[in-house]
Amino acid sequence: MPRLGDISTRPCADCGESMYWTEAAVRHPDLLARTSGGGSDAAFVDAYRCANGHTSKECPLCGSYDTAAWADSEARHYHVICAACGNDSVVQA
**Which residues are near Zn ion by CB under 5 A?**
12, 14-15, 17, 50, 52, 54, 59, 61-62, 64, 82, 84-85
DSSP 10: S
Q: Which is nearer to Zn ion, 37 or 47 (CB)?
A: 47
Rounded to the nearest whole angstrom, what is the least distance from the CB of residue 20 to Zn ion in the complex? 11
Q: Which is nearer to Zn ion, 36 or 92 (CB)?
A: 92
Cα 89 from Cα 67, distance rounded (Å): 10
Helix (H) or strand (E) holding 31: helix 29-34
Rounded to the nearest whole angstrom, what is the least distance from the CB of residue 81 to Zn ion in the complex? 9
Is 30:47 a contact under the CB 8 Å cutoff? no
Q: Which is nearer to Zn ion, 27 or 40 (CB)?
A: 27
Rounded to the nearest whole angstrom, what is the least distance from the CB of residue 44 to Zn ion in the complex? 18
Burial class (CB in 10 A: 0-12, 13-18, 19+), 76: exposed
